[in-house]
Structure 1
Amino acid sequence: MAYLEFRNIQLKYDQRLIFSGFNLEIEQHEKVLFCAPSGRGKTSLVKMLLGFVVPDQGQISVAGVTLTGETVNSIRSQICYVSQDADIPKGIVRDVFAAVFKFQVNRHLNYQEAVLCDWLETMALPQDTLEKNVDALSGGERQRLAVILGILLDRDIWILDEITTGLDLTLKTKMVELLLSYDKTILVVSHDDIYQNRGLREVSW
């Protein structure tokens, strides 16, 4: 049995058929790049894994557990989702990070602000970013913070949804090389050529 499975998925939006009889198996620690054209449901597919989009038909399973209303929170706790919008809580960056690691699901992690400071340097963010309000940061800065948060949460499955927008070539290359070096199951949604020739399995439909 594959680590992640999409079985006989069907999905419609406004009577438009997005998926019909879609099947996909992904092994643990495999790195996959979704290559479908715009409007073909790439983001919808990864959001199905999180339970944010519910297919009209079919089943999704993670590590042998079928995604249902009863299992969705447990499955979400295994996934880090970083999107183009970099949806991180509002507030002062230092306080936001501290609060996230106080959540029950994250309390087992040994969060230290000093480690966050090291990551700010790695991601070419100034140390005074800690004192700034999330709303005052640029899109690229928020994206890098969201990636740092995902790394520190150390979950088994990473979903990277158009995370290189707003970054220059040097930064995006550094970020992609870093993320792909981790021994995680990684699902990438992107139109960026930066992911080409990096050993990802390309899945298209």
Structure 2
Amino acid sequence: MACIEYRDIELKFEERTIFTKFNLAINKNEKILLCAPSGRGKTSLVKMLMGFIIPDSGEIIVDGIPLSGKTVNQIRSKISYVSQDADIPKGIVSDVFRDVFKFQINRQLNYQEKILSDWLEKMLLPQETLNKNVDSLSGGERQRLALILGILLDREIWILDEITTGLDQELKKKIVELLLNDDKTILVVSHDDIYQNRGLREVSW
């Protein structure tokens, strides 16, 4: 059984057709690179998986569970979604991370600030980042923090939506190697050629 299935998905925005009878099956721990020109629905595809966009028809199934209003929270609990917008809560970085791991859904995770400190080092962020306000950080710094948060949440499915935007080549390579060697099911949305020849299955339309 596939980990993720899109079955006969149809989606329109106003009068523009985005998907017609779109089908895709993704196996557990498979790494997928979604390839399509701008405006063809790459981000819409992953937002449908999160339940943020509802297809006009068709079905999305995750681990055998059909996505619906009743199951959307259960399915979201399986997914870490990291976007180029680096949408993380406001506040002092150390407090933000601590608060996220106080949520009921995350309490079983073994979070310690030392773990966050180690990841700051891996992502080439100074330790004083812990004491800074999220609003004072650059876009690239927030992007890396959002990625660290996604990693520490340890969900079984990762959605990475243009996460290398604005990063230098050395850091891009480091992040890509780190992520693609992990035992996770990963969907990547990117125009960056850093993902080429990395063993991802390219899905285009």
CA distance in 2, matches of 1:94, 1:63: 33
CA distance in 1, matches of 2:69, 2:78: 16
Write out per-residue CA displacement over residues 157-178 of structure 1, whole angstroms, 9 at most, x where no aligned residue: 0000000001000001000100
Q: Which residue of 2 aligns with 1:117?
A: 117
Pair 1:102 & 2:108 matched = no
Q: Which residue of 2 aligns with 1:153?
A: 153
Deviation for aligned residue 1:82: 0.2
Alignment: residue pair count:
205
Q: Which residue of 1 aligns with 2:177?
A: 177
Q: Aligned ranges for residues 1-205 of structure 1 at < 5 Å?
A: 1-205=1-205
Q: Could you say what secondary structure the match of 1:7 adopts?
A: strand
Deviation for aligned residue 1:29: 0.3
For structure 1, the 5+ residue unaligned runs are none
Deviation for aligned residue 1:15: 1.1
User: TM-score scaled to structure 2, two decimals?
Assistant: 0.99
For structure 2, the 5+ residue unaligned runs are none
User: What is the RMSD of the two structures over their aligned residues, measured on CA atoms?
Assistant: 0.5
CA distance in 2, matches of 1:3, 1:84: 25
User: TM-score scaled to structure 1, two decimals?
Assistant: 0.99
Write out per-residue CA displacement over residues 71-124 of structure 1, whole angstroms, 9 at most, x where no aligned residue: 000000000000000100011100000000000000000100001001001100
Q: Could you say what secondary structure the match of 2:20 adopts?
A: strand
Deviation for aligned residue 1:203: 0.1
Runs of 4+ that moved beyond 4 A: none
Deviation for aligned residue 1:2: 1.2
CA distance in 2, matches of 1:64, 1:77: 15
| Paired AA for residue 129 in structure 1 | T
CA distance in 1, matches of 2:135, 2:29: 34
CA distance in 2, matches of 1:182, 1:147: 14
CA distance in 1, matches of 2:123, 2:2: 34
| Paired AA for residue 56 in structure 1 | D
CA distance in 1, matches of 2:8, 2:78: 23
CA distance in 2, matches of 1:181, 1:24: 23
